[in-house]
Structure 1
Amino acid sequence: MQLTYVFSELGNGLKRNVSMSIAVIVTIFVSLTLVGMGLLLNAQAQKAEEYWGSKLQITVFLCNQNSTTANCLNGEVTGPQKDEIEKVLETHPEVASWRLQSKQEAYQKWKSAYVSNDETEQRVYESIKASDMQESYWVQLKNPEKFMGIKSQVSGLEGVNTVRDLREVLKPIYFWMNVMKWGAIGIAGFLVVAAVLQVGNTIRLAAFARRREIGIMRLVGASSLYIQLPFLMESLVAAFIGVALAGGALVAFMYFVIYERLRPTSNIVAWIDWADGVWALGWIALIGLLLTLVPTLVMTRKYLKV
């Protein structure tokens, strides 16, 4: 097989179809970038679930003088009521451990969390005292997925104002992460289809432009692989450039967003790392190869029959 001819036809083919080749590369680049982002978001959601899963607690807020729920009709929680709550926490099979947070501890946490430069808000905050806060039990679970038993039992006890499950706080985060993940993958799916169609159309036009050459090669006994190889090489070049651009975009996202912005400034979750980035790069390289080679092989078998 004369490789000189193959590379010569590769150069000629790229020159003939330069606009179509650019369109294929751009489509592959955008679609694979979105696929990669979807994979990274999926990895991030899994890491967040694993990280928060070991830390998820329920918080039992006790009645204070301002509570108005049905369990707080007598006002501030009493000593016997707290003893009864602690007895349930000690004996319940879903509870691994628990601790009592005092009003002063709650007040200090509140002060550190609610900081404002607005003078009106500052005056409101200054009027709040430690005695206005609620005592609370912070309950660590043996299994983060099993909490309904202890939650329902303590919710009905006298002296319990509310029971907060951290899943209610995290639910919007999980929701929007899933929306972004499936949105990126959905859009990428449409673009992958567009890329496949563009590759097929490029091969069809290239085969039509070279139909006389292909006919002559058939007459002199050239093999199908010898005729197909320039078309396959064109697709590989487009796939390589598209995958390289998409990979560069993912590397830039990992470095500038994850490692430069999020990791140093936030430790509320375990963030994705370079291992996840390499995993996503491997998948987009495989997908990029398949979405160019498969339609090229299919279309060449159809249009190279002269």
Structure 2
Amino acid sequence: MSDNSPETPEPAETQPEPVEKPVSSRFAVEKPAPKPKSRRLSLVVAVVVALLVGAGVAAGGLYQSGWRRIPEEKYTMVVILKDGTTQPQKDAIQKVLETLPGHSAVRLVGKADAFAEAKVAYASNPEALAGLKEENMPESFRLTVVERSFDCTPLKPLGGNPVISKMSVVKPYGSASDPGADILC
């Protein structure tokens, strides 16, 4: 290609020369560093840690102030039967007693066993033993229930039963501050 026009030199790319600004005050102010993108993540982690620490402190405070799980208590139950109770009646009573939550084995204490226990219990009182005879001792059901509280609801079918002489639920003596109690059902 022959172009007869005189070649003009292309202008060189020139960059403006940096101009230093004169410092007008005694202190030079620098540009702040750009904020890292992980700042949001750091903030989230700090909030989560603060919440966990707060929850731990609150739980520890509640525990120290006495807010604890209620301990299980031991209750002793005795169902005293009238003389002449038939075996089907005893079976029906035992079936109801076995519905109690947290119960031990339900055992039927006969006249001979009741008399032997009475002799041990009243060994220091010969006058009381003088009037006891094996044939006068009642049969009874005995069991132990271990629960946080005693619920009388399962015993409702026994209420008014004509063959039951007495039904007793006792929370035994625990300590000087816990003297035990009879539970009324």
TM-score, L = length of structure 1: 0.31
Report which of the two has the higher share of helix. Answer: 1
Bigger relative contact order (CA 8 A; separation at least 6): 1
TM-score, L = length of structure 2: 0.48
Q: Which has the larger radius of gyration?
A: 2
Report which of the two has the higher share of strand. Answer: 2
